[in-house]
Structure 1
Amino acid sequence: MMYFAYEIGRAALKPVRMLAKAQSNLLQHPQNPLSLMPGARSVASAYGVFGDLTRRYSKPAFNLPTTLCDGKEVAVHETIVKRKPFAQLKHFKRDVARPDDPKLLIIAPLSGHFASLLRGTVEAMLPEHDVYITDWRDACLVPLSEGDFGLDDYIDYIIDFISHIGPNTHVLAVCQPVVAALAATAIMAEDGHPSAPRSLALMSGPIDARIDPTAPCKLATKHKLSWFKTNLVHPVPAPYPGALRMVYPGFLQLAGFVNMNLDRHVDAYRGLFRSIRDNETDKVNRHRDFYDEYLAVMDLPAPYYLDTIQRVFQEFALARGCFTYRGRTVNPAAIRSTALMTIEGEKDDISSPGQTQAAHDLCINVPQIRRLHHLQSGVGHYGVFNGSQWRESIAPKLRSFIRAA
């Protein structure tokens, strides 16, 4: 019912938003005499902010048409090399194919935002790697006939994608998928899979969410699983292709994201108001570039969401040695030949320092010479995989680690 009411509210606001946009454009038009009136630009700015706050944000594009190889600009083409109901494997194919460049699979989080949130991650790795990424689908677009999708299915997808890319694949899991990526690697190692990852880099994720629990971790342990199922899981309304599928809606996730740093977002939109009023085009564009990505969210399949809450954040199953996959216990100690790197941010308020590093305590048979842990000072969660610190400090270490592996 909540999802349906939300859609009705958005539909009701659409004509108001269109009128506000028209008024904003009119009051800023240089040939309109009203634009010269005192306060006209402030009113136009208010209309503009209202439009930004109420519009629907669609799935962003990666928009990475070129990269640099050996100092030369080369074209990059996004191709889908494998399609599955809840995800597709995307390949950033460069015009210059260098056989000695490592194959890198980036596992994007299925936690509300689209895979394009890792645009900066992909961009930094493209010059020296043959890059693939998991491009998860919005659950409201997946028909019920495709079945359910839980945490075990997520692990299946990872194994399938790694197998498709082939032997000597390097894997980078960012945030939420670190548990599934480590489990998949352990399963492939134990089974003697020929495409078991050459290296595994785990970045800012909850391998052991008991360590210095953050606000999301505390929320998960504060309530029983039934509370999440009752309050946060809703059926997709018509006319979406996934109508009646039970999901954790994107708009509820976004409300949680925003409430974690509400003051920061309020200040950002105050700044947008001033920038529109003062005709500061560059600042307006920077704000909108960020929020076009941040406010674009997707629905999560309910079984996957509830599995993650229960097994990762309530039972801490992997850290306690009792994580199971399709009825079998996952054994990280089976990992021997895969190099292991963990990366954390000093000011991470989603996965605090120590939660990801815990992977080293589980993978006891990875030789010490093939391990690396990096704690980046002065960065929060987002800054670990995007921004200047990622480009200048973290990415070079990750590239060197992959080459050494």
Structure 2
Amino acid sequence: MRYMATYDLMETIRNTNQWLGATARTIASYPHFALLPNPMIRWMAAWGEVTERTFERMIAKPDWGIGSFTCDDGRDHLVHPRTVVQLPFGDLIHFEVAGRAPQPRKILLVAPMSGHYATLLRSTVKSLIVNCEVYVTDWKNARDIPVSAGKFDVEDYTLYLVHFMKHLGPDTHVIAVCQPAPLTLAATAYLAEEAPEAQPRTLTLIGGPIDPDATPTDVTDFGRRVTMGQLEETMCQRVGFKHAGVGRRVYPGLLQLASFMSMNADRHSSAFTEQILRVARGEASDYDPHNKFYDEYLAVMDMPAEFYLSTVERIFKNREIARNVFSVEGKRVDIGKITTVAVKTVEGANDDISAPGQCIAALDLLTGLPAEKKASHLEPGAGHYGIFAGKSWRNNIRPLVLDFIGRNSEGPLPRSGLTVVN
């Protein structure tokens, strides 16, 4: 019961701050205050506006915001995110471009389940939709999933990816961003042995912790330092009475957000102080850089507790993927069974979340894959977000990934993940 009370207390604090912001903004907008030549009135209104928006965004799922796209014919074509596979903990969505002929390259973009919504990859989707059919894993907020739907851990996540890949068929190119990279590699290996006819053509792993110990970071150090009992006691709570998932154990989004922001508290504090001053001077807008970034950054979702705990224990502490001992439903998944799927890794030289060396470790695990089907890229000067959503992605990495996909799109579809010895 105390875990539910703590969950509801956090929501109460968030709700109260949103109310305080709305109240300050409304009071400062009373016409008679215009008679007082006091800058504090404008500052109070600005503080209220920024505070209300900040705390309101924490519980709102952002929209994809991709309304239309200009095709080669010079006309704007509407873009419709359509759900093609619906499952309890996540959906597979397809970005349909109305009136455009199907594109030859079919891409499955595997979004992280790490606190933020799949819309974090909005700019990635927009850059790929130009000449690709783009599908994205759209993970759901755990607080909205009834307890009757059951558990969801790293094995379930892997099986969801297997299901999505089977649905899309073998002529698919998979791109996994950050957290899902190890499990996407495992899902591909699972298909190589259990359903080789459903393997994708290529697999691109971007900034993922395949081997967290290859290059230690603050994230990996935390995983080593804290025991599983401490994590379960301090990070996991039960969803409160307000939501459909009441009673479900989760790693709350608000708690995750507090952890994110504490890592760069000074920078975030300065950003909000400067935004309040901009609002007071009338220089801010709904779509200014601050709001565009924080509307997405502040929108957090609850993560199933069993997924969070099993990720820390099995991927980071026990390094089951890195040691090639990961199993699904009691059966070992051998990454060495991947023999036909071309694999590329992408890392950022300045990535402080998944540092260089962690992702490229995947290539050493692919003992059954010919050298010509392996590739890697280290982007100079790029941080974690830059390698999939920033300038580095748009100008350098995206062309390299599409070239890799193009070079491995010809020839027969993958049929078997097993090497036949005569």
3-state SS of paired residue (1:55): helix
Which residue is 1:255 aligned to?
Answer: 258
Which residue is 1:287 aligned to?
Answer: 290
Q: Which of the residues 77, 81, 84 maps onto 1:78?
A: 81
Deviation of 1:36 (Å): 4.6
Q: Which of the residues 152, 157, 172 maps onto 1:154?
A: 157
Paired AA for residue 383 in structure 1: G
Deviation of 1:372 (Å): 1.5
Equivalents in 2 of 1:357, 1:35: separation in Å?
A: 63
Deviation of 1:39 (Å): 4.0
Which residue is 1:19 aligned to?
Answer: 23
Mark the CA change 1:38 to 1:269 in structure 2 (over 3 Å): closer, same or farther.
closer
The question of whether the paired residues in 1 share the 8 Å contact of 2:18 and 2:53 is answered with no
3-state SS of paired residue (1:49): helix
Mark the CA change 1:158 to 1:35 in structure 2 (over 3 Å): closer, same or farther.
farther
Q: Which of the residues 370, 375, 388 maps onto 1:372?
A: 375
Mark the CA change 1:274 to 1:192 in structure 2 (over 3 Å): closer, same or farther.
same
The question of whether the paired residues in 2 share the 8 Å contact of 1:169 and 1:195 is answered with no
Q: Which of the residues 269, 273, 278 maps onto 1:275?
A: 278
The question of whether the paired residues in 2 share the 8 Å contact of 1:20 and 1:50 is answered with no
Equivalents in 2 of 1:200, 1:186: separation in Å?
A: 11
Which residue is 2:42 aligned to?
Answer: 41
Which residue is 1:354 aligned to?
Answer: 357
3-state SS of paired residue (2:223): helix
Which residue is 1:54 aligned to?
Answer: 55
Q: Per-residue displacement from partner, 1:333-387 (whole Å, max 9, x unpaired)?
A: 1111111011111111110011001010101222222222111111211111112
Equivalents in 2 of 1:248, 1:100: separation in Å?
A: 39
TM-score, normalising length: structure 1: 0.95
Q: Per-residue displacement from partner, 1:9-53 (whole Å, max 9, x unpaired)?
A: 234445423212213544xx7x96347534432332222333234
Equivalents in 1 of 2:178, 2:35: separation in Å?
A: 50
Equivalents in 1 of 2:147, 2:153: separation in Å?
A: 14
Moved more, 112-121 or 364-373: 364-373
3-state SS of paired residue (1:241): coil
The question of whether the paired residues in 2 share the 8 Å contact of 1:120 and 1:386 is answered with yes
Q: Which of the residues 301, 306, 319 maps onto 1:303?
A: 306
Which residue is 2:222 aligned to?
Answer: 219
The question of whether the paired residues in 1 share the 8 Å contact of 2:21 and 2:50 is answered with no
What is the number of equivalent residue pairs in this alignment?
A: 402
Equivalents in 1 of 2:39, 2:357: separation in Å?
A: 55
Which residue is 1:190 aligned to?
Answer: 193
Q: Which of the residues 3, 6, 13 maps onto 2:7?
A: 3
Unaligned runs of 5+ in 2: 409-422
Equivalents in 2 of 1:255, 1:303: separation in Å?
A: 20
3-state SS of paired residue (2:385): helix
Unaligned runs of 5+ in 1: none
Which residue is 2:246 aligned to?
Answer: 243
Deviation of 1:320 (Å): 1.2
Mark the CA change 1:77 to 1:362 in structure 2 (over 3 Å): closer, same or farther.
same
Equivalents in 1 of 2:207, 2:57: separation in Å?
A: 29
3-state SS of paired residue (2:86): strand
Sequence identity (%): 38
Paired AA for residue 47 in structure 1: G
3-state SS of paired residue (1:140): helix
Equivalents in 1 of 2:344, 2:99: separation in Å?
A: 28
Equivalents in 1 of 2:18, 2:265: separation in Å?
A: 25
* 2:88 equivalent to 1:88: no
Which residue is 1:342 aligned to?
Answer: 345
Equivalents in 1 of 2:209, 2:296: separation in Å?
A: 23
The question of whether the paired residues in 2 share the 8 Å contact of 1:182 and 1:332 is answered with yes
Paired AA for residue 54 in structure 1: F
* 2:64 equivalent to 1:65: no
TM-score, normalising length: structure 2: 0.91
Equivalents in 2 of 1:283, 1:275: separation in Å?
A: 12
The question of whether the paired residues in 2 share the 8 Å contact of 1:275 and 1:283 is answered with no
The question of whether the paired residues in 1 share the 8 Å contact of 2:350 and 2:384 is answered with yes
